[in-house]
Amino acid sequence: MRKILLWFLPGLIVGAALILGAGKVITSTSTNKYCVSCHIHPAADASWKRSVHYDTRSGYRVECVECHLPPAGHGYLWAKAKTGLRDLWNYWTKDSASFDWQAKRGLEYARSYAYETSCIRCHENLFPASLTKAGEDAHLYYTQQKKTPELHCINCHLNAGHFIKGYTHGSNKSFGPASSGSREKFREATKVSEFKSFTEQIPNSSVTFNMKAVPGGKFRMGSPENEPFRRKDEGPVRDVQVSPFFMAEVEVTWDEYLTFYAQTAGEGRSSDTEGSRKKGPVTDAITGATPPYGQPDQGWGLGTRPAISFSYHAAETYCRWLSMVTGKTYRLPTEAEWEYASRGGTQTPYFFKGDPGKFLKTGFWAKLSKNDTSVINSYVIYKGNSPSKTMPPDRVRANPFGLKNMLGNVAEFCSDWYSEDILSTYPQGLVIDPKGPVTGTEHVIRGGTYLDDAGNVRCASRDYTKTSKWLKTDPQMPKSIWWYSDCFYVGFRVVCEFDAKTGKL
């Protein structure tokens, strides 16, 4: 009996001490003071102090861990251990100046470390009596959707915990181009009478953009089975011939897109009419986009950056408008034209030499092998070199056809409907100017984005629009047909047809 007590009692005391001690450690490392004590993210500390979670009307201060850890019973200890260890590792092994704080500020990142269960722990009632109409619409929408990780409180409430200057999640009616200042506005578009590169002028604006003449030719569309990171939809390889066309040197810039927006913008969406109460003809004008939500440029700047956050429908309408004002035939490229143009006469994974595996930036082996990415960096804005945002085109060099940012920066809309096995439906032998399937539900996008790693910015990489996902948190009812609320990495470049209007005989 004494032996049992001899071992049991000290064990009990040590156990109790450990538990109490552990409890103490957990609480003391969860205080605001502790979070701030490393002095690693003074900007985050400061923006928290300017937020509505710090300076509340009731005087209550929301603590760091109340948002950045899940509530007790929802994985609190596990998340605390994980993030705690990661914090310690980074603190000791990395240079905090190299951290991409801009990216961490963004929505994608925020969703992963601001827990929705924590939001709801305090904000139990989504329909308080004083809720505004906008809140009603948004919360009605939120409660009626199937729950997915993308549908997160923070999509609309990104500034709750950390102040963001100028953050608005409402209709941004003041959005629009800066004045063109004293620059003279063009009266007419450029006249083109032969198949040579030219600089287009948009009438009634001072905006120009370069169009490169892309000679017709043959190429092998798709990628061989042994290409690294190849996906099934990139094969089987087909021989394709493409007729000559003009293609924009860069993706449509904010300067160009805002000209379209300003010249055609509609005030509010036109209401559907119940039946046709009018008996007369409907006028055929091009009505353009309605005011966007929040800041479509995500605060990264306008000017020569590629325009983003607008829908496929908006891109098509832009082309129709551009055709109308310039008297040429502008349109989106077909997928075949796009791949042909991006390859620039090459048949390698990229239009420059290099093995995709050696350009990777993410993943354990990539970090271990310290890949040399200087070649890809000079041609492609991708995960390895972009601070998680778009870049102006002067950062990269052109491909053999004189086109920049075909790979990376923003992905680009194509006119084809997306079909996973489209290449297998094209016949063997030479296919001439294929245009994709007759119908579909989503459109092709090509080129990869500034968020993609090396494997997804190859010439053969294919992707497609995800319309409902990109409108997931559009809290407006009805949802916009002009803007995506959850996609800021897709844009497009225009193709101008070589036809009678541009000198073809």
Partner 1 sequence: MKKSEISRRKFLGTSAVVGAAGIVAPVMLAGCGGTKEDKKVAAVPEEKWLDQAPDGPVLKAGVIGCGGRGTGAALNFLDAGPNLQIVALADTFRDRIDGFRAELKKQKNVDIPEEKCFVGFDAYQKVLAENVDLVILATPPYFRPGHLEAAVAARKHIFTEKPLCVDPEGARRVMATARKAKELELTIVTGTQRRHQRDYRATYQQVQAGMIGDIVGGNVYWNQSKLWHRDKDKSWSEMEWMIRNWVNWSWLSGDHIVEQHVHNIDVMHWFTGVHPVKAVGMGSRLRRVTGDQYDFFDVDFVFENGMHFHSMCRQINGCVNNVSERVQGTKGSTNCRNTILDLKGAELWKYAYPVDAQGKPDPDKMKDPYVQEHIDLVTSIRTAKPFNELENTAISTMTAIMGRISAYTGKETTWDEMMNSEIKLGPKVFAFGPVEVPKDVPVAGEEFKPEKK
Q: Which is nearer to partner 1, 93 or 439 (CB)?
A: 439
What's the closest the beta carbon of residue 271 comes to partner 1, in angstroms? Answer: 5
Is 491 buried (19+), middle (13-18) or exposed (0-12) by CB count in 10 A?
A: buried
Cβ-based nearer residue to partner 1, 429 or 478? 478
Nearer to partner 1, 184 or 272 (CB): 272
Q: How far is the CB of 389 from partner 1 (least distance, A)?
A: 31
The least distance separating partner 1 from the CB of residue 129, rounded to whole angstroms, comes to 6
Least Å distance, CB 277 to partner 1, is 5
| C-alpha–C-alpha distance, residues 487 and 434, integer Å | 28
Our CB check for partner 1 shows the closer of 284 and 394 to be 284
Which CB sits closer to partner 1, 98 or 276? 276
Which CB atom, from 143 or from 243, has the smaller least distance to partner 1?
143
Shortest Å, Cβ 317 to partner 1: 19
Going from the C-alpha of 343 to that of each of 73, 226, 418, 450, the distances in angstroms are 53, 18, 20, 19
**Among 290, 258, 318, 265, residue whose Cα is nearest residue 171:** 290
- Residues in contact with partner 1 by CB under 8 A are 125-129, 131, 133, 136-137, 139-140, 143-144, 269, 271-272, 274-277, 279, 477-479
Tell me whether residue 181 or residue 478 sits nearer to partner 1 (CB atom). Answer: 478
Backbone angles phi, psi at 320, to 5 degrees: -65, -40
The nearer residue to partner 1, 7 or 127, going by C-beta atoms, is 127
CB of 275 to partner 1, least distance (A): 3
Q: Give whichever of 63 and 442 is closer to partner 1, judged by the CB atom.
A: 442
Compute the least distance from the CB of residue 133 to partner 1, in Å.
Answer: 8
Q: Which residues contact 63 (CB under 8 A, 6 or more apart)?
A: 30, 31, 32
In 265-371, alpha helices (H): 312-326, 335-343, 364-369
CA separation for the pair 338, 107 (Å, rounded): 30
Q: Nearest approach, Cβ of 131 to partner 1 (angstroms)?
A: 7
| 212-251 exposure pattern, b = at least 16 Cβ within 10 A, e = fewer | bbbeeeebebbbeeebebbbebbbebbebebeebbbbbbb
Shortest Cβ 280–partner 1 spacing (Å): 11
CB-CB neighbours of 357 under 10 Å: 15
What string of DSSP letters covers 70-109?
PPTTTTHHHHHHHHHHHHHHHHHHS-GGGS-HHHHHSHHH
The answer to whether 388 and 203 are in contact (CB under 8 A) is no
Closest CA to 398 of 390, 409, 387: 409
The answer to whether the beta carbons of residues 253 and 304 sit under 8 Å apart is yes
Q: Is the CB of residue 387 less than 8 Å from the CB of residue 100? A: yes
Find out whether the peptide bond into 478 is cis, omega within 30 degrees of 0.
Answer: yes
> In angstroms, rounded to a whole number, what is the distance separating the alpha carbons of residues 24 and 469?
43
Nearer to partner 1, 3 or 279 (CB): 279
Helices H / strands E in the chain, number of each: 16, 12
Contacts for 344 with CB less than 8 Å, ≥ 6 apart: 351, 399, 400, 401, 403
Helix (H) or strand (E) holding 463: strand 462-464
Tell me whether strands 443-446 and 245-248 are parallel, antiparallel or unpaired: unpaired
Looking at beta carbons only, is 34 or 127 nearer to partner 1? 127
| Least distance to partner 1, CB of residue 421, Å | 29
Give Cα 435 distance to the centre of its chain: 26
Q: How far is the CB of 5 from partner 1 (least distance, A)?
A: 50
* Closer residue to partner 1 in complex, CB, 282/285: 282
Residues forming a β-bridge with 242: 217
The Cα–Cα gap between 53 and 76 comes to 21
Report in angstroms the alpha-carbon separations of 15 from 6, 9, 20. 14, 10, 9
Closer CB to partner 1, residue 201 or residue 480? Answer: 480
Residue 141 CB, nearest approach to partner 1 (Å) = 8
Taking the complex as a whole, the smallest distance from the CB of residue 127 to partner 1 amounts, in Å, to 4
CA-based angle 145:148:149, to the nearest 5? 140
